A = this chain, B = another copy of it.
Amino acid sequence: MKVFNYRDVEEEFEEGAQKTRIRRLITKETGAENFTMRLFEIDPGGSSPFHSHAWEHEVFVLEGKGILKGECDQEFRDGDVIFIPPNETHQLKNIGTKPVKFICLIPYMKTE
């Protein structure tokens, strides 16, 4: 069993996103076979790409304030849960003055 702080996981810039960093917290290297946990930080004005893909997102918002763009705009903030089904076009955008920080989990079977 592993216990570690998220801040001890290397931070990378996320390709295709603006002002966005990713930490890959739980991966196949950790021993996870089914799904993977990542932590994203989007700086003010930044966003994930407006895109769609064949897998879902399960998101828990830790800090900040943003908009989930899709068929309509939905505001989100800390304490919010976001479910994005497969194949729905989406974008997460920071509309606040502090970083938006969230956990985002995706399944392995459809992506690798």
Interface positions of A (Cβ within 8 A of B) = 1-7, 9, 25-26, 30-35, 37, 39, 56, 58, 60, 62, 68, 70-71, 74-76, 79-85, 88, 90, 103, 105, 107, 109
Contact = CB atoms under 8 A, between A and B. Distances in A.
Contacts of A25: 60, 81
B83 A2 contact: yes
A88 B107 CA distance: 22
A32 B56 contact: yes
B35 A107 contact: yes
B76 A3 contact: yes
A89 to B, nearest CB: 9
A82 B3 contact: yes
B62 A4 contact: no
A30 B83 contact: yes
Given A37-B58, A105-B37, A82 B31 contact: no
8 contacts: A2-B81, A2-B83, A4-B81, A26-B81, A34-B107, A60-B60, A62-B62, A103-B103
